[in-house]
Structure 1
């Protein structure tokens, strides 16, 4: 066992502070992706599946580069037509409050709304 010989413990039960999931950092990443991809876009039901997947993949890739090591990331994107009606969304998670967290942001223009959420769960 190479790790035992060198005295390096590869089993971490808590992330280092610099690698901990930071909701504010994740929210800023989400906000930037949504603004860059949705500014001036008109709602088109034909493009929603492709656009939703593109947004989720882009957010996930951007967050991978931030340094949330050993975190499993779940990205959820909901896109809808802006009709002046209210929308209610909720999420519930069973996780370790010391290590796991989430971030979300909302983008709206005259034509559409988008809610994106990222859930970061530390992998022990």
Structure 2
């Protein structure tokens, strides 16, 4: 598969849509409940991964999900990457309602397909 081909590129737009749908499907019309946060984060991450895999793109995905109650406290996140900027990428989707914040980040690391060799 040639990375010049759009089918093999990380599409931030596709990932953004997948993440927004996963968040909306889980957190729409809910009130923050600390006892449910683990289930919510797992649900969001699992749904994102399932949909990303269905795209059949040559990527390994790393997904993080943060859910935090809105209580006036600050939240800072930071990430750094050492990767191929021509092939790898990420998408971060912030979401909030009246009582919570959610931030989902999806990193896409291209599977090294440039060095594949046919066996003789």
The Cα of 1:92 is off from its aligned counterpart by 0.7
Runs of 4+ in 1 over 6 A off after TM superposition: none
Larger relative contact order (CA 8 Å, sep ≥ 6): 1
Matched, 1:81 2:69: yes
CA distance in 2, matches of 1:90, 1:15: 30
For structure 2, list consecutive stretches of 5 or more residues without a partner in the other structure: 113-120
Identify the residue that residue 4 of structure 1 maps to in structure 2.
Answer: none
The alignment of Structure 1 onto Structure 2 pairs a total of residues equal to: 112
Larger Rg: 1
Identify the residue that residue 87 of structure 2 maps to in structure 1.
Answer: 99
- Residue 22 of structure 2: which of 13, 33, 40 is its match? 33
- Provide the TM-score with structure 1 as the length reference: 0.83
Which range moves more in the overlay, 90-99 or 19-28?
19-28
Q: State the Cα RMSD in Å.
A: 1.6
- Provide the TM-score with structure 2 as the length reference: 0.85
The Cα of 1:71 is off from its aligned counterpart by 0.5
Identify the residue that residue 112 of structure 1 maps to in structure 2.
Answer: 100
